[in-house]
């Protein structure tokens, strides 16, 4: 008989086993178990912010916070807009600024923005194409700024849109300039490699003349002595200058430099009418535009581009012809020669003044 005040041997054994099991579990907990939670959390916790060095983004944010408002200088009132011509296009400066704001986000007439370590000349232009036939694939051209001290800086073109016939596009050019640069004595000019430069466009003082090709009313006519054919050529207008003079030669469009005279040359455009009164030629006769040559000091220059409204003529018909030639810039006169090269007695000759 067992007394109620003493535990039985079986009860003591159960208590001892439970105690040993709990002790073993506490001492043998795995690294991921509850025994290491506090240590793991301590290792994963971030260090105090006072002990972390700022990264690039933190430094940039600090600089942005401490930088002051941008400083911007614009031309004197009444200076803008002003224009120059280059490569058949009219370029009008609508806004210009010397600023230490970010040129990528600078907006004319907008908020000043935040000052940066860089000083830029920002030039915004309207680009007008008045020609009804020529498409410009891009407004890209090398614009150079001559600073008041004579330093030349090439701008970065920040627009790539084209200029369709009879339309206006926009362009922006950005120049790195020294701090303190002013508009007094600052001049812009287009200077594409291998091409004639534009006239200078100052951004202070009086507005300069705008360059334009000369138009000479020739009104010269001559007969070609082609056997059995009564053909008369009449040269109406002649265009002389550094911009491409006529809407011919650019069927697929062009880039800006392609419409400017090569360095050291001038472009001569001739507009003519070819009339055939009589023709003993059942299949018709060529209007002879393909035979045209411009002689300068005896040197022949073939046409850089030519077009005919009707290349093959019958009796009582006519063709409108446009021709473009490249000649030396010093040329003051030339002879337009039309007709078979191997038959000088059948040719027509026109003496043209180019100055």
pLDDT greater than 70 at residue 80: yes
Give me 165's structure tokens. Answer: 């016939």
Averaged pLDDT of the chain: 85
Tell me the C-alpha distance between 245 and 259, whole Å.
9
Nearest to 180 by CA among 151, 221, 206: 151
Tell me the C-alpha distance between 355 and 349, whole Å.
19
Q: Which residues pair with 256 in a beta bridge?
A: none
354 CB contacts (<8 Å, ≥6 apart)? 216, 238, 240, 266, 268, 327, 331, 332, 333, 334
Give the dihedral sign, CA 327/331/332/335: negative
Tell me the C-alpha distance between 38 and 187, whole Å.
72
Mean pLDDT of 202-219: 97
Cβ distance 285 to 279 under 8 Å?
yes
* pLDDT recorded at residue 66: 53
Parse the chain into domains and list their residue ranges: 72-202, 214-353
Residue 113: pLDDT band with limits 50, 70, 90 = confident
Q: Residue 324's Cα: distance from chain center in Å? A: 25
3-state secondary structure of 23: helix
CATH placement of domain 72-202 = 2.60.40.1240
pLDDT greater than 50 at residue 239: yes
What CATH architecture does domain 214-353 belong to?
Sandwich (2.60)
Q: pLDDT digit string (tens) for 274-307?
A: 999 999 988 999 999 999 999 999 999 999 999 9
pLDDT greater than 70 at residue 122: yes
Q: pLDDT digit string (tens) for 30-79?
A: 333 333 333 333 333 333 333 333 333 333 333 444 579 999 999 999 99
Q: pLDDT digit string (tens) for 88-104?
A: 999 999 999 999 999 99
Q: pLDDT digit string (tens) for 301-354?
A: 999 999 999 999 999 999 999 999 999 999 999 999 999 999 999 999 999 999
DSSP designation for 151:
-
Tell me the C-alpha distance between 25 and 215, whole Å.
106
196 CB contacts (<8 Å, ≥6 apart)? 242, 260, 261, 262, 263, 264, 265, 329
Highest mean pLDDT among 3-12, 14-23, 252-261: 252-261
pLDDT greater than 80 at residue 212: yes
Residue 111: pLDDT band with limits 50, 70, 90 = confident
Tell me the C-alpha distance between 85 and 91, whole Å.
6
Nearest to 198 by CA among 146, 247, 137, 126: 146
Tell me the C-alpha distance between 229 and 343, whole Å.
15
pLDDT greater than 70 at residue 131: yes
Tell me the C-alpha distance between 13 and 46, whole Å.
49
* pLDDT recorded at residue 160: 66
Equal fold, 72-202 vs 214-353: yes
166 CB contacts (<8 Å, ≥6 apart)? 129, 130, 131, 132
* pLDDT recorded at residue 271: 98
* pLDDT recorded at residue 10: 42
């Amino acid at each position: 008989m067992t007394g109620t005040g003493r535990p039985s041997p079986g009860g003591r054994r159960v208590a001892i086993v439970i105690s040993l099991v709990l002790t073993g579990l506490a001492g043998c907990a795995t690294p991921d178990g509850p025994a290491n939670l506090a240590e793991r959390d301590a290792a994963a916790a971030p260090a105090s912010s006072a002990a972390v060095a700022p990264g690039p983004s933190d430094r940039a944010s600090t600089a942005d916070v401490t930088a002051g408002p941008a400083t911007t200088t614009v031309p004197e009132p009444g200076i803008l807009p002003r224009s120059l011509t280059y490569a058949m296009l009219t370029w009008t400066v609508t806004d210009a600024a010397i600023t230490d704001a970010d040129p990528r986000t600078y907006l004319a007439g907008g908020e000043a923005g935040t000052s940066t370590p860089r000083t830029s000349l920002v030039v915004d232009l309207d680009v007008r194409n008045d020609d009804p036939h020529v498409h410009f694939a891009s407004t890209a051209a090398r614009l150079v700024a001559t600073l008041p001290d004579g330093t030349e800086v090439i701008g970065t073109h920040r627009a790539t849109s084209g200029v369709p016939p009879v339309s206006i596009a926009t362009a922006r050019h950005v120049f790195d300039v020294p701090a303190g640069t002013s508009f007094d004595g600052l001049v812009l000019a287009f200077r594409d490699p291998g091409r004639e430069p534009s006239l200078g466009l100052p951004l202070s003082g009086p507005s300069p003349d705008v360059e334009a090709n000369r138009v000479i009313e020739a009104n010269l006519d001559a007969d070609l002595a082609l056997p059995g054919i009564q053909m008369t050529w009449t040269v109406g207008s002649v265009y002389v200058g550094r911009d491409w003079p006529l809407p011919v030669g650019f069927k697929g469009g062009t880039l800006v430099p392609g419409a400017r005279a090569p360095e050291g040359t001038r472009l001569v455009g001739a507009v003519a009418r070819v009339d055939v009164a009589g023709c003993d030629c059942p299949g018709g006769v060529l209007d002879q535009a393909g035979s045209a040559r411009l002689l300068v000091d005896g040197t022949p220059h073939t046409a850089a581009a030519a077009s005919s409204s009707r290349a093959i003529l019958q009796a009582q018909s006519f063709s409108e012809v446009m021709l473009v030639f490249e000649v030396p810039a010093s040329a003051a006169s030339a002879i337009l020669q039309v007709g078979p090269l191997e038959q000088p007695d059948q040719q027509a000759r026109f003496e043209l003044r180019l100055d």
